[in-house]
Each structure stands twice: as C-alpha cells, then as structure tokens.
Structure 1
C-alpha cells in the first residue's frame, strides 16, 4: 500500500504546476431526445496536433462529475500524458446498455456513436480507433468493456476498474432487473448483456485490455473468473489486483495505473 501511495504522490509532485482545462458541456442525444452532461478534460500542454481520447465512465448512482470531484489528480494525469479524457453522464443504473422500447436508456448508442461524433467534431482529437480508449469503474467498468467488445470499429483499447464484469451473480441489485427483466425469466437476455458471455466476440489482436480490482471488493470474484476465462481463451490482457475495497480510496489509486496503460497504448499506436 505504501508503494502505491508514494507512486500517486510522485505523479502529483511532478505535475503540480500544470492545470488541465475542464469543460462541462451538454451533448444532445438524438436517440434519447435529451441533453447529456459531459465533462471534457484537455491537457494544458498539448503535443503537436490533435490528441488521443479516453472515454471514462462512472459507476452506478454516479454522474459525469464523479471522476473530477473524487479523483482531482486526474487533471494532472491528463497533463502528464497529453490525451483528452471524456466523462459522460451514464444515467442512474443504465449499465451503458441500449434497452429496446425505452427511449430513456439508449446509452450504448450515446457513448459509442453520438458522444464520439460530438467530441471529434468540437475538440482537437484524432478521429482514429487506434487513438480511442474506454474505461470506467464498477458499472462503468462493465460498460467500457461491453461497448468496446460490441464496437471494435470505435475503440482499440478498453479497461475496467472494479467492474461488474459478470452481472448474473447479482440478480436483484442495481436496477438491472428493471432494464432486462428478472434473471429467472430472462436468462438469455442477461447472458447477452454480461461481459463474461461476450468474450467470444473479441477477435484476435483486436482489443488491448487492462482489468484491475481490489482484493477486498465484492466484484473481486467475478474479475478473477474473467481473468481465468480470458487466459484460457488465449485472449491477451493485463490484469492487476491490489489491496482495496469498492470505494474511492481504491479508485483514486487505480486510475493512475489505468491512465498509464492507455498512454502506452496510444504511444505505440502513433
């Protein structure tokens, strides 16, 4: 634990004099017919030309401000690595799915299509899947992997921190039954909406993956199972476990490793 704290302190010390630009914008979703608040963090010191983009998703009951409010060093990390970070509002319990027949829950379309189009039309970012990544925490970790697997033409790299990567062990939690119906009566639909049953869609060498979880997290077990399954299927991925629970004490640390991973991917794809 001491090594992690020292690492975060070092990052903050190196970057204390920089100040990333933080915008809060309304992005209109045609699919949902409403504005979605989104935080966009741009590096103060940009490399020549446009930047890569990391889409960073919040968890259940969270909102677009969670990352900048609870992990303020993310601004220093943006300056250090020189890529843009986009934090959309994912609604309350959306799990970043499109729900057929419910106009209020079309977050797959919003994040993977409408938001990407908005960002790339209004900010100096690269319009190239090799320079787009997506990650998030908890529900957002699930959402990031789900969207990247479903839309390999949009994202080249995906991450998850403390993600609910298999929803089936939690059939009564976090509004999932409100979106999908009960697991008991709609098992196939749940299978189609959980990461654990989508791994067959990952084409060889199509997606760089980084998954982490705290060893005291209630999602630790499902992350261990996903790691074992990806290993068994010979799907390359980075997997990290650290001491920690399902809380911001852990996520403030894990975002340092997540953003370093995406920097390495973006740098290799230049």
Structure 2
C-alpha cells in the first residue's frame, strides 16, 4: 500500500518541478532585415486558447535570455497567474527606439508591431490590447513606458523596474548619443525620446501604470521625479520604492508584485467583459 502512495507523491513533485514551457524562437524583422531571438514562456496545464501576454524588456547590454536565466521564480509566476511571457532581444543599447537612418535599430517597430503580430499568430496569445502588457528593467523600463505611451492601441497596461525614465541627466552614457546624436546639439530629439517629456500622451482614459525603483538605485531620483510629476498632473499610477539597488535581486522582488498587478488588470478586464 505504501509504494503507490510514494510513487504518486514522486509524480506530483516531478510535475511541479517541470514548470512553464520555455521556447526560444527567431522572429524575422522586416524593418531590420534580420532574425531576432525571443524567449516565450507559456503556462502549463492551461485550457485557455487566448492568454493575456506580458512583454519583458531587458536592460542595456542585456539579451533575450536574461529573465529566464536570472529570475528563478519566473516560470512559477507564469504558471500561477496563467500569463504568457515574451522576452525579445532588444539589441545592444537600442533603448527600444526607431533610429532614423539606421536599419539596425528599428526596435520600436519590431517590438510593438512585428513581434506582437508574430506572437498573436503563433502562440495562444490574445490579440486584444486589454490583455497585453509590457514592463522592463533599466533601459527596458524606459522602453516599456516609451512604447506603451506611443502605442496605447497595442498595450493595455505598463510597468517599469528601475527604468531610466529621464535620459537627459545621462548624456554620455549607455550609447544614447550614438542613437540620438549629442544632447548639446540635439536637445529637441532627446526631449521627444525621454519618458519624462511624454506625459502629454496620457489620455482621458489613462493606462494602468506601475513604477518601481530601489531606494539605492542610481535611477531612483529620476523615478521619484516622474512619480511627482505624474501626481501633479493627476495621472493615476502606482509608485513603489523598496530597499534595493540596480540589480537582479531587485528585479526578482519587483516582478512578484508586478505579476500580481498585471493579473489584477487582466482579471478586471475579463470581469468587465462578462458583464457586457
């Protein structure tokens, strides 16, 4: 009698250890004429054919595999909340912009157009913006806000983890001058490419926004200023600042909260649908 019980326990443990399904795909970008590697994490044991989707953008010098390699609980979060996660490669220092005259840096078009279409066509992902969200770390945090504000028909909610939400205090850092030209000679271009100066794009029905940055992070001051400006402008948002630095330990901690935030948003949307 004991053997079947032990075997059952073993099988259950194995099932829990398997976790969400992880695939690495190559997505062809027509705008850049190259394949872009992307990690897709799917929940297991789901009956849904149209899952809510979260895009995770990596930071400067990062790559598509960062989150699956560095966030130990990512697969567990995907399974717990039944959210499809997409982690694209954003290039080295792209900041997720389309750079005029540089075919190698058209990452706004790739992430918010080409990749979204590919995921909707090839994975059980909802094609509706209200079931699609985006977040990221550092350069990816700025990229998430930048893309969501410019493509509110694509993303229903947005968050940022230690994002470089105002690029102007850092004119000589992280290849930004290579993409935009020097700040001294191209100030207007920098203004149009920094999240801090894009809040006018928030409409009368604003995106759910979540901003998080560690108190010991070098981006803490610009995140606090963004929070204060949004508060002054009466833009609804959630702001969080916990003890922590600009590292993956903080990212992991933040994602626990952000998955819950997005789950609530996606669940709220579905509840609203059921009453219409």
What is aligned with 2:139?
139
What CA distance in whole angstroms lies between the structure 2 residues aligned with 1:102 and 1:72?
A: 36
Equivalent residue, structure 2, for 1:49? 49
Deviations 1:167-191 (A, max 9, x none): 0000000000000001011000000
Any residues of structure 2 matched to 1:110-189 within 5 Å, and which?
110-189=110-189
Cα drift, residue 49 of structure 1? 3.0
**1:199 has 2:199 as partner:** yes
Say yes or no: does 1:241 pair with 2:241: yes
TM-score under structure 1 length normalisation: 0.93
Distance 1:199 1:210 in 2: 14
Match of 1:252 in 2: 252
Query: Residue by residue, what CA displacement relative to the aligned partner does 1:23-49 show, whole Å, maximum 9, x if unpaired?
Result: 000000000000000000000122433
Structure 2 equivalent of residue 90 of structure 1: 90
8 Å contact from structure 1 (residues 38, 64) kept in 2: yes
Equivalent in the alignment of 2:74:
74
Larger radius of gyration: 2
- CA distance in 1 between partners of 2:124 and 2:131 (Å): 12
CA distance in 2, matches of 1:67, 1:113: 22
1:16 deviates by 4.9
Spell out, residue by residue over 1:171-229, the C-alpha distance to the aligned partner (whole angstroms, 9 max, x if none).
00000000000101100000000000000101122311000000000000000000001
Following TM superposition, the consecutive aligned residue runs of length 4 or more in structure 1 with deviations greater than 2 angstroms are 15-18
1:36 and 2:36 correspond: yes
Q: Give distance in 2, aligned partners of 1:16 and 1:234.
A: 44
**C-alpha distance in 2 between matches for 1:18 and 1:240:** 32
Residue 125 (structure 1) shift: 1.1
Matched, 1:101 2:112: no
Aligned to 1:229: 229
RMSD: 1.3
- Give the Cα separation in 2 of the matches to 1:20 and 1:203: 36
CA distance in structure 1 between the partners assigned to 2:249 and 2:120 by the alignment: 33
How far 1:72 sits from its partner (Å)?
A: 2.4
Question: Paired residue for 1:60?
Answer: 60
Secondary structure at the aligned position of 1:239 is classed as strand
In the superposition, the TM-score normalised over structure 2's length comes to 0.91
Corresponding pairs, count: 257
The Cα shift of 1:83 comes to 1.0
Is this contact kept in 1: 2:206–2:236, CA < 8 A? no
Cα deviation, 1:78-108, whole Å, max 9, x if unaligned, reads 0000010000000000000000100000000
Match of 2:5 in 1: none
Q: Partners in 1 of 2:114 and 2:48 — Cα distance?
A: 27
- Structure 2 residue runs of 5 or longer lacking an equivalent are 1-12, 271-276
Q: Distance in 1 between matches of 2:18 and 2:234?
A: 41
CA distance in 2, matches of 1:47, 1:230: 39
